[in-house]
Amino acid sequence: MTRADLAAQSIEQLGTGLRDGTVKAAELAEAVIDAQEAREGSLHAYRSRDAAYTRAQAAAADAAFAAKYELGVLQGLPVSAKDLYAVAGYDTYAGTPHPLPMFAEEGPVIRAVRGQLAVIPGKTHTVEWAFGGIGMNPHWETPRNPWDAQDHRAPGGSSSGAGVSLWEGTAVVALGSDTAGSVRIPASWTGTVGVKTTYGRWSLKGIAPLSPSLDTPGVLTRSAEDSALAFASLDPHVGEARRFLEKCREAEVCRFTLGVCDWMFDNNDPGVAEAVQKALDELASAGARVVKVEVPNLTELHELFRRGGIAGLEFAAFINRPGMEKWKQSLDPIVKSRFAAIEAVPAKEYIARVLRMSEMAEEAKPVFECVDAIVGPTIPITPPKIADLQSVEAYQTKNLLSLRNTSVGNILAMSGVTLPVGLDAAGLPVGLQLLTPNGADEQALAMAVASEKVLGAPRARLGTPPLCG
């Protein structure tokens, strides 16, 4: 099993090989270690990795296969974990300069991965405390977007190493988290598939927090079909993962009505709106019903988000707890620059924002009476060059734009998926966002799989990133 073999095969194909004995988890582990050694020096997906530990996990998976234990579709497969997740064998830093001993016990999501004897080859980089959509971190290496061979461009955050780990061949599933877009942004900017789960559907235990009222665990994968399998294997409600994938495969785009949100197309960088519109035209030609929808309150929503929403306020409450002084003192200067304003917000304003967000979510529900999903560009801008983001003002401008469309899903309590649909004028990936009602995660994934049948999987539609060829 070579790096190329691992990169070319789906979760289903790799699983078939592991179960019929033509592939060993140990061989996959060596391909992952080889890819890490070859590419980590330039791409920097991982904060920490451990070749010996990776081999030990693979040996356990192979032993289980030999004993005829069937533990799940991820058995023996490499799964990277964002460095917010507590994972035995790796310290948790949450993007900070200091380890967090209070986040050492694995939570239900990681236990679901471990219970299948998947192989976790390392912890991928995150923005400090997941507080940002660009992917930068002054304490650690900022992962490099593999689609630009000349300039270091943003990989998307806050799950900044997740999408990179998929393309560099060191994972087939990447665990992330999404508070305002932190799964969907790196997925969109790296040309992978990202799943934002319904808030509360997956447990947050064992995951360092940003905003407990908005944080959602999620996954990034190399295709919609892989996302369906990964989601079902980790979800406590779906049931048998392979059966779920078959149900998703039965879905056809002609069953779905897609509601185009023009607001999400406003002020897009060159090639972004065009790539999404082309994909929507292809889906319409295949039978999907594509209509215009008005989502209420989006201007107000974005203004609320621009003023910090509730995520900043909840994070400020967390970082000001006794015992957190060391982590507050070492905060990223860009985060620190916002803290005086965040900490000055009175409790009554926080409560008012929470109530207004709940009202806006209710006011948006009638949209889904006539459409199955709200659609638009996942991110309106091209991944910026890191060199252009060295001032606080430049960073904050791009950061707000990166989160503009994705934050709708969090504030209005929706689930959703982003699919790669093309390259923009700069040659960087563009994502199509499918937002579905709260609790409709299965529908979002069925739509994604059906759309992928029409549009093609990421590797076929986009090609291979220049730095991962």
Helix (H) or strand (E) holding 190: helix 184-190
Strand partners, 207: 85
Find tokens 């579905």 and name the residue: 436
Per-residue tokens: 457: 């999987």
In this predicted structure, the answer to whether residue 341 has a pLDDT above a threshold of 90 is no
Among candidates 408, 416, 418, which has minimal Cα distance to 439?
A: 416
Helix (H) or strand (E) holding 80: strand 79-82
Tens of pLDDT, residues 192-208: 999 999 999 999 999 99
Give the separation between CA 109 and CA 49, rounded to whole angstroms: 20
Tens of pLDDT, residues 228-276: 999 999 999 999 999 999 999 999 999 999 999 999 999 999 999 999 9
In this predicted structure, the answer to whether residue 226 has a pLDDT above a threshold of 80 is yes
Residue with the larger pLDDT of the pair 380 and 342:
380
Q: What share of the chain is helix, strand, coil (3-state, %, to 5)?
A: 45, 15, 40
Where does the pLDDT of residue 455 fall: very low under 50, low under 70, confident under 90, or very high at 90 and above?
very high
pLDDT of residue 2: 80
The domain segmentation of the chain, as residue ranges, is 3-303+349-468, 312-348
| pLDDT averaged over every residue in the chain | 97
DSSP E strands in 88-192: the ranges are 122-124, 173-178
What average pLDDT score do residues 97-108 get? Answer: 97
Architecture field, domain 3-303+349-468? Alpha-Beta Complex (3.90)
Per-residue tokens: 279: 């994909």
- pLDDT cut 70: percent of the chain above it: 100
The sign of the torsion formed by the CA atoms of 380, 431, 461, 141 equals positive
DSSP secondary structure string, 309-350? TTHHHHHHHHHTSTT-HHHHHT--HHHHHHHHHHHTS-HHHH
Where does the pLDDT of residue 338 fall: very low under 50, low under 70, confident under 90, or very high at 90 and above?
confident
Q: What letter would DSSP give residue 385? A: B
Active site residues per annotation: 82, 158, 182
In this predicted structure, the answer to whether residue 170 has a pLDDT above a threshold of 80 is yes
In this predicted structure, the answer to whether residue 459 has a pLDDT above a threshold of 80 is yes
Q: Tell me the H-state helices in 365-431.
A: 392-403, 407-411
Contact 304, 411 (CB under 8 A): yes
Other CB atoms within a 10 A radius of the CB of residue 372 amount to 21
Q: What is the CA 382 to chain-centroid distance, rounded?
A: 17
In this predicted structure, the answer to whether residue 87 has a pLDDT above a threshold of 80 is yes
What average pLDDT score do residues 308-332 get? Answer: 94
pLDDT of residue 337: 80
Strands 415-423, 46-49: pairing is: unpaired
Q: What letter would DSSP give residue 288? A: -
